[in-house]
Structure 1
Amino acid sequence: MDSILVTGNGPLNGEIPIAGAKNACLTLMPATLLSEEPLTLTNAPRLSDIRTMTTLLQSLGAEVSSLQDGKVLAMSSHDLTSHKADYDIVRKMRASILVLGPMLARDGQAVVSLPGGCAIGARPVDLHLTALEALGAEMELKDGYVHAKAPGGLKGGIIEFPFVSVGATENALMAATLAKGTTVIRTAAREPEIVDLADCLRAMGAQIEGDGTSEITIQGVDRLHGATHPVVTDRIELGTYMLAPAICGGEVELLGGRIDLLQAFIEKLDAAGVHVQETPRGLKVAQRNGRVNAVDVVTEPFPGFPTDLQAQMMALMCTANGVSVLEEKIFENRFMHAPELIRMGAQIDVHGGTATVTGVERLKGAPVMATDLRASVSLILAGLAAGGETVVSRVYHLDRGYEHVVSKLSGVGAKIERIKGQ
């Protein structure tokens, strides 16, 4: 099994290109199931999760071609041959549940395995199912699969979520585009990935209003047509690499970065003493004053501080001046990186959904183990700021969400290499 070797060696300088968003692309790909005409995605990230979704769509009969070194995905679902998403594929990635709504909307039937993915909490699919039931679908859970039917097609309805769910909003939004009549989604997720999906669906002929707010209205249409759509910038990759110069010092320009994607996160960086500046090509991040200041963080749905940047922010706070409190309100079990950071000399006290971090002057390199996708990159960031060598094992998590992390970081002066497993 591969590992990543990181040696702390001072400030970083240069530029890092930011890829298209993994979470957006994984949502946009199932949208091809809504139409018999081709859907082409540009600015696609090159990740193992994208390959998994490709395999899943192909198992349903969709054609998926990877062009321009993987940056363009050309898809066509003119002739679906199956409506069953098998466990062997779905277990690898929670986003697989997003084929449920499109298949049900288009053909009135779908059988989808309950999904897998990172072990960071229960993340049940109940909200996906109740949303589709509000559109007239009949659901049955049997032998680990969701058996869904809508013999007369889906019908518009009111979907009111008890709390914000990005995935359930996405599934409901896609299904509602072909439902008869008007659908209103309340307590809808407001993330940029939701807006990106709505933009793509509108390009395919959908009638959607209110995306980016907590109430989305969809007027169903009879059919959707083909389209070409650019995947939005990955705000989580962007935030991750913004933290690299923050934790190491130096100045790095993030190509394609946008402040509106990460307003709450950038406000915390500013409070910590990290300078963020817009440029014609993206965002420039600089940290020249030694240790940053400790800041408190509470994860919240967009536009709040992203849960997917909590682990990376904790790595920064490990060497901050003062005591910071990080409260995780989105997922349980999302402090599994804390014991690994403690192995590197961090002072972290975890109680339930709260972690108290007392900054130390410097971390020490150590062998550590990645427990999930975002934890894996937080350990790399910590290694950049640590004395000596840090070896991060189980980096297959990393490959799910970050393309070419070694070359991107080494390109700005980091001493990092991938070690092939035996």
Structure 2
Amino acid sequence: MSEKQASLSPHYLVTGGQPLHGEVTLSGAKNAVTKMVIASLLTSDTCTLRNIPILGDLELTVKLCQEFGSQVELDREKHTLSIKTTDIKDYHVSTTVGGLNRICVMTIGPLLHRCGEAVIPMPGGDRIGPRPINFHIQGLQQMGAHIIEKDGYYHCRAPERLHGATISLPFPSVMATENLLITASLAKGVTIIENAANEPEIVDLVKMLQKMGAIIEFKVDRRIVIEGVESLHGASHTLLSDRNEAVSLAIATYLTRGDVYLRHAQQDTLLSFLNTLLKMHLRFEVDDEGIRFIGDSNVSPAISLETDVHPGFMTDWQQPFTVLLTQSEGMSVIHETIYEDRFGYTSALTRMGAHVGLYPKCLGEVPCRFREQQHMHSCVVSGPTPLVATRLDIPDIRAGCSYILAALCAEGTSEVYGIEHIERGYEHLDVKLRSLGAYIEKVS
């Protein structure tokens, strides 16, 4: 696409320098809703989800399920979704929907349980480095699935009912843990997932599965034990709030020296983020209904930060936090231990005036898979540096949000393109920012 053609595509005009004030209500968790919709495929009964976020990833997942034969009722105003899959009409996932993100790999288990077969395309997703699904495939194979790769598709069969297994994940992958949880719920016998992820969204998925009749227990040392049952039934579930949206809006508040109350922000899902704010002498107030974030004219000190699996500092918080560190006093160090290629967005920050350097060495203490592999997975940020507006092209969801945050505190008006990434992962982020006083205009 030429630059002229790109300039005609939908984009945001963001003028910086306007403090954010007021209150917004957080949406339901993007990283939970799609997995719960997939989990509904385990039963022929109706499942109802409340507090759902209305965003692109959910739309794709709904289309995916409708191709299988699901009946879906979506109430956008009430943020509820009801889904009933009486029969699976087709166990093939089309590239039209399945190739656009990684959710299709989650359908293998439900399709094998209900049809004995599944055919899915090689999954897509954000450009943040290789994200192989070998953890998923190997775990499913241990449970009795026969899977071969052919012509860009995974062809999966289960001649007999899938069975329990002890599966040791090489890394506590969130999506692999969720996939194995969903599949193991109906497998014959006991499944033990060792080195499992235990993010809040996973706990919320387990709550839904338990309401459907699944028997799942969290054990010490990252072990999850699932006792497979013969069948599951329908259930209703209210999603937890989106902690990524909470972090993004909180950082926007500090960058613009504003004062914003986030209704439904949940302290227990944000502990490591809030601890980091305290280290930077940034103010917030927690009550039973949400969290108030309070910016002021003081310049926060630089810090050292490492991403880690939960309960550590979440990798999705790294990009917006890097923007915040451009406005801190001194030299900050960020060590990314989850993805090896998640600092590509910093080139745009450099063009805006930030002082950012990338390094292949592990600049931290958290055990890192990328040691001695020459991946640029450590970042040094020197500040404070004033940022200036520029044209920004969003490569993925979290980087896109960081671009908007940078534009909110930059001098001048930035043009932000690739906003489909934002709308895939955030519900009306531009609308919420405008309600708080931001100068952000969508140009279609």
- TM-score band, normalised by the shorter chain? over 0.9
Tell me whether 1:140 sits opposite 2:126 in the alignment.
no
Instruction: Specify the alignment match of 2:46 in structure 1.
Output: 38
Matching of residues 167-178 of structure 1 within 5 Å: 167-178=175-186
- Matched with 2:56 is 48
* Number of equivalenced pairs: 420
CA distance in 1, matches of 2:280, 2:255: 11
Cα deviation, residue 361, structure 1: 3.8
Residue identity opposite 1:374 in structure 2:
R
Query: What residue identity is the alignment partner of 1:378?
Result: S
Query: What residue in structure 2 maps to residue 402 of structure 1?
Result: 426
Please identify, of 23-32 and 411-420, the stretch whose mean Cα deviation from structure 2 is larger. Answer: 411-420
Q: Is 1:21 aligned to 2:45, yes or no?
A: no
CA contact (8 A) 1:190 1:212 kept: no
Mark the runs of 5 or more structure 1 residues left unpaired by the alignment: none
2:14 to 3, 6, 22: 6
SS at match of 1:183: strand
SS of match in other structure, 1:139: strand
TM-score, structure 1 normalization: 0.97
Quote the residue 1:359 is aligned against.
Answer: 383
**Contact 1:105/1:176 (CA < 8 Å) preserved in 2?**
no
1:287 maps to 2:295: yes
Alpha-carbon distance in structure 2 between the residues aligned to 1:95 and 1:385: 34
Q: Is the 8 A contact 2:112 2:158 kept in 1?
A: yes
> 2:26–2:245: 8 Å Cα contact kept in structure 1?
yes
Question: Partners of 2:105 and 2:246 in 1: how far apart?
Answer: 26
User: Given the alignment of the two structures, is residue 374 of structure 1 paired with residue 382 of structure 2, yes or no?
Assistant: no
How far residue 212 of structure 1 moved from its aligned partner, in angstroms, is 9.2
Is 1:393–2:417 an aligned residue pair? yes
Q: Distance in 2 between matches of 1:154 and 1:75?
A: 24
**CA displacement, residues 196-231 of structure 1 (integer Å, 9 cap, x when unaligned):** 110000000111111796111111110000011111
Q: Is the 8 A contact 1:189 1:213 kept in 2?
A: no
1:359 is displaced (CA, Å) by 1.2
Instruction: State the alpha-carbon separation in 2 of the partners of residues 193 and 327 from structure 1.
Output: 24
**Cα-Cα RMSD:** 1.3
2:440 alignment partner, one of 416, 419, 422? 416
Correspondence 1:197-276 to 2 at 5 A: 197-210=205-218, 214-276=222-284
Kept in 1: contact 2:335–2:377 (CA 8 A): yes
8 Å CA contact 1:195–1:212 kept in 2: the answer is no
Moved more, 88-97 or 251-260: 88-97
Residue 333 of structure 2 corresponds to residue 325 of structure 1: yes
Task: Say if 2:157 is the partner of 1:149.
Answer: yes
CA displacement at 1:380 relative to structure 2: 0.8
Q: Aligned equivalents of 1:70 and 1:149: distance in 2?
A: 39
Q: Determine if contact 2:54/2:76 at 8 Å carries over to the other structure.
A: no
Cα distance in structure 1, aligned partners of 2:353 and 2:199? 35
Q: Distance in 2 between matches of 1:405 and 1:293?
A: 28
Q: Deviation per CA, 1:34-69: give whole Å up to 9, x if none.
A: 001011111110101110111111111111121143
In 2, the alpha carbon distance for the partners of 1:155 and 1:369 equals: 46
- Aligned residue identity for 1:412: L
CA distance in 1, matches of 2:332, 2:88: 52
Which amino acid letter does the alignment assign opposite residue 440 of structure 2?
I
Alignment match of 1:63 (pick from 71, 75, 92)? 71
Amino acid in the other structure paired with 1:116 = G
In 2, the alpha carbon distance for the partners of 1:56 and 1:301 equals 29
State the secondary structure of the residue aligned to 1:196. helix
**How far is the alpha carbon of 1:70 from its aligned partner?**
6.4
Q: Which moved more, 1:5-14 or 1:19-28?
A: 5-14
Return the alpha-carbon distance in structure 1 between the equivalents of residues 23 and 219 of structure 2.
Answer: 32
Q: In structure 1, what residue type is equivalent to 2:67? A: S
| Rounded Cα–Cα distance in structure 2 between residues aligned with 1:189 and 1:112 | 24
The CA deviation at 1:276 is 2.0
Q: Is the 8 A contact 2:355 2:385 kept in 1?
A: no
User: What does 1:69-80 align with in structure 2 at a 5 Å threshold?
Assistant: 69=77, 71-80=79-88
State the Cα distance separating 1:145 from its structure 2 match.
Answer: 1.1
Q: Does structure 1 conserve the Cα–Cα contact (< 8 Å) formed by 2:354 and 2:385? A: no
TM superposition outliers: structure 1 runs of 4+ over 6 Å: none
Provide, for residues 3-30 of structure 1, a one-character-per-residue CA deviation record: whole Å limited to 9, x for no partner.
1111113322111211001110011010
User: Given the two structures, how large is their TM-score scaled by the length of structure 2?
Assistant: 0.92
Q: Is 1:182–1:218's contact at 8 Å kept on the other side of the alignment?
A: yes
8 A Cα contact 1:164 1:188, kept in partner: yes
Distance 1:156 1:61 in 2: 28
Q: Is the 8 Å Cα contact of residues 194 and 212 (structure 1) preserved in structure 2?
A: no
Shift of 1:366: 1.3
Cα offsets for 1:121-166 (capped at 9, x unmatched) = 1110100011111111111111111111111111111111111101
What is the aligned partner in structure 1 of residue 114 from structure 2? 106
Secondary structure of the residue aligned to 1:400 is: helix
Aligned residue for 2:373?
none
Deviation at 1:367, TM superposition (A): 1.4
Query: In structure 1, what residue type is equivalent to 2:123?
Result: P
The 8 Å contact of residues 296 and 324 in structure 1, kept in 2 or not, is answered as yes
Q: Is the 8 A contact 1:176 1:183 kept in 2?
A: yes
**Is the 8 Å Cα contact of residues 35 and 224 (structure 1) preserved in structure 2?**
yes
Q: Which blocks of at least 5 consecutive residues in structure 2 are unaligned?
A: 1-8, 360-375
